[in-house]
């Protein structure tokens, strides 16, 4: 039966069997019983499969870490389809790809896959052989040995999936809970929405994690993981501050004008030493309105410190503190809750709408910069003005089936 399910494009190597470079899966020949296992190496995952009720489903393929071009053919001979695609931990790849009955449409995107392993340090040298993951990352789709796709939408219809390894420039994201790929609804962060706004010529590798600081990102070997892979032509986006400013966390606290800036300079130097381009971001503000309907700055001197380092080091700064302030104030104190998680009870972390709008702001800032990365912005992205955001009442991104009431670390 397997010969009908997979098109093997490459041949086994002479020294023994090896996974093929390109694999194509025809979903029209699969049944719900074709579930993923490490032995099979592909299949429907997380207890889901396509249904007549158009429910979301997951499909996984076992792959080594790296960048992969995923090419999907959408459509159905008898009915119209509407498709949204997410990858790994809810990274938005494609939004509302529609086909008419009998119409078939093919789209490609790049997915970065990674695991926690690190090149082991030399004998007697400091370091480690794996990223130090926290307990909430156990079972995460981000840190496993497979590429997982979520097919969602009002009427998903998928015919074939092709997966092939590729070398592509990569944007590495280092940051905290406002950047990370949030695993569960209804939380979301701008980093996991960003892939939707890029062409297939670029990969987004989101290494941010909830609760992280400039110091802990070092001690947990998360920066080491990035530095083990980052190459000339890549980018390192750096956004910390939410947790770094917490004096009640003495082990990771950094003072805005001294140690905070020193750590930022170190990250910049590490990226440049490897031929990569660093980009600094100020942290998005928390939703704290004063009596006049204006956002108060809860980040103290940290946004200004980022801007100072950017000017000093000739590094592009994406000012999410300013952008988010405009965004929240445009919505106003009442409607701004519609951009935040836990039905607005969370004043720090965003929902899908808030994360999507901030990602649009990041894409616009990249376009407005002198970065060559601007050429990789998706052709269907028009412009974004945070003072005139999309109406939250008309926003429609299908929610993932993965939900939890666990609050992000650091909250």
pLDDT of residue 19: 52
Angle at 169 between CA 201 and CA 214, to 5 degrees: 130
Token representation of residue 410: 């650091």
Is residue 180 within 8 Å of residue 209, measured between CB atoms? yes
Q: Which residues of the chain have pLDDT under 70?
A: 1-20
Name the residue ranges covered by the structural domains of the chain.
Answer: 1-167, 168-400+404-408
Q: Are strands 23-26 and 277-282 parallel, antiparallel or unpaired?
A: unpaired
Determine the pLDDT at residue 16.
39
Q: pLDDT tens digits, residue range 355-391?
A: 999 999 999 999 999 899 999 999 999 999 999 999 9
Q: What is the Cα–Cα distance from 55 to 80, expressed in whole angstroms?
A: 15
Crossing angle for the helix pair 352-368 and 320-335, nearest 10 degrees? 150
Q: Which class is 1-167 in CATH? A: mainly beta
DSSP, res 260: I
Quote the pLDDT of residue 7: 38
Angle (CA) 46-48-52 rounded to 5° is 170
For residues 174-189, b (16+ Cβ closer than 10 Å) or e, as one string?
bbbbbbbbbbbbbbbb
Angle between the 302-313 and 261-273 helix axes, to the nearest 10 degrees? 40
For residue 210, the 8-state DSSP code is T
Tell me if 207 sits within 8 A of 225, measured CB to CB.
yes
In this structure, the strands spanning 81-87 and 91-99 are antiparallel
What does the DSSP 8-state code read for residue 242?
T
For 253, other C-beta atoms within 10 Å of its C-beta total 16
Taking alpha carbons only, the member of 97, 122, 123 closest to residue 108 is: 97
DSSP 317-372: EEEHHHHHHHHHHHHHHHHGGGGBTGGGT-SSSB-HHHHHHHHHHHHHHHHHSS-G
As a whole number of angstroms, the distance between CA 263 and CA 106 comes to 44
The reported pLDDT for the residue numbered 370 is 85
Helix, strand, coil percent values for the chain (each to nearest 5): 25, 25, 45
Per-residue model confidence (pLDDT) at position 121: 92
CA distance 295 to 217: 29
CA neighbor of 349 nearest in space, from 303, 293, 410: 410
- Tally the C-alpha atoms within 13 A of residue 147's C-alpha that lie toward its C-beta: 21
| Distance from the Cα of residue 40 to its chain's centroid | 27
Mapping DSSP to helix (H, G, I), strand (E, B) and coil, where does residue 291 land? coil
Q: How far apart are the first and last CA of the chain?
A: 50
Q: Does domain 168-400+404-408 correspond to CATH entry 3.40.50.450?
A: no
* Closest-CA residue to 150 (of 85, 54, 89): 85
> Tens of pLDDT along 316-330?
999 999 999 999 999
Token pair for residue 173? 């994201």
Report pTM: 0.93
Query: Two tokens at 83?
Result: 């498709």
């Amino acid at each position: 039966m397997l010969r009908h399910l997979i098109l093997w494009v490459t041949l086994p190597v002479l020294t023994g069997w090896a996974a093929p470079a390109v694999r194509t899966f025809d979903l029209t020949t699969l049944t719900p019983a074709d579930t993923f296992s490490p032995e099979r190496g592909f299949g429907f995952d997380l207890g889901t499969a396509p249904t007549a009720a158009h429910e979301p489903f997951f499909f996984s393929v076992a792959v080594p870490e790296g960048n992969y071009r995923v090419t999907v053919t959408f459509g159905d001979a008898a009915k119209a389809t509407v498709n949204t695609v997410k990858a790994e931990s809810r990274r938005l790849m494609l939004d509302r790809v529609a086909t008419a009955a009998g119409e078939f449409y093919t789209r490609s995107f790049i997915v970065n896959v990674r695991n926690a392993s690190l090149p082991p340090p030399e004998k007697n040298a400091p370091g480690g052989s794996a990223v130090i993951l926290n307990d909430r990352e156990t079972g995460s789709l981000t840190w496993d040995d497979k590429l997982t796709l979520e097919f969602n939408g009002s009427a998903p219809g998928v015919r074939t999936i092709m997966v092939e390894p590729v070398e592509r420039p990569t944007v590495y994201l280092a940051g905290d809970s406002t950047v990370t790929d949030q695993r569960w609804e209804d939380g979301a962060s701008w980093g996991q929405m960003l892939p939707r706004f890029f062409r297939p010529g670029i990969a987004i590798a989101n290494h941010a994690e909830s609760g992280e600081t400039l110091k802990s990102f070092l001690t947990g070997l998360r920066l080491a993981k990035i530095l083990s892979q980052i190459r000339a032509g890549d980018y390192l986006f750096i956004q910390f501050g939410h947790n770094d400013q917490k004096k009640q966390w003495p082990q990771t606290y950094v003072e805005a004008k001294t140690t905070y800036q020193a750590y930022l300079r170190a990250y910049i130097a590490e990226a440049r030493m490897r031929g990569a381009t660093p980009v600094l971001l100020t942290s998005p503000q928390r939703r704290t309105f004063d009596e006049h309907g204006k956002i108060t700055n809860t980040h103290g001197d940290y946004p200004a410190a980022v801007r100072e380092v950017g000017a000093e080091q000739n590094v592009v700064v994406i000012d999410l503190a300013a952008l988010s302030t405009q965004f929240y104030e445009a919505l106003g104190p009442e409607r701004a809750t519609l951009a935040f998680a836990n039905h607005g009870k969370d004043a720090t972390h965003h929902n899908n709408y808030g994360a999507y709008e901030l990602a649009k702001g990041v894409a616009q800032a990249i376009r407005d910069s002198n970065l060559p990365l601007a050429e990789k912005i998706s052709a269907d992205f028009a412009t974004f003005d945070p003072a005139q955001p999309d109406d939250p009442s008309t926003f429609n991104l299908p929610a993932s089936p993965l939900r939890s009431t666990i609050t992000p670390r650091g909250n």
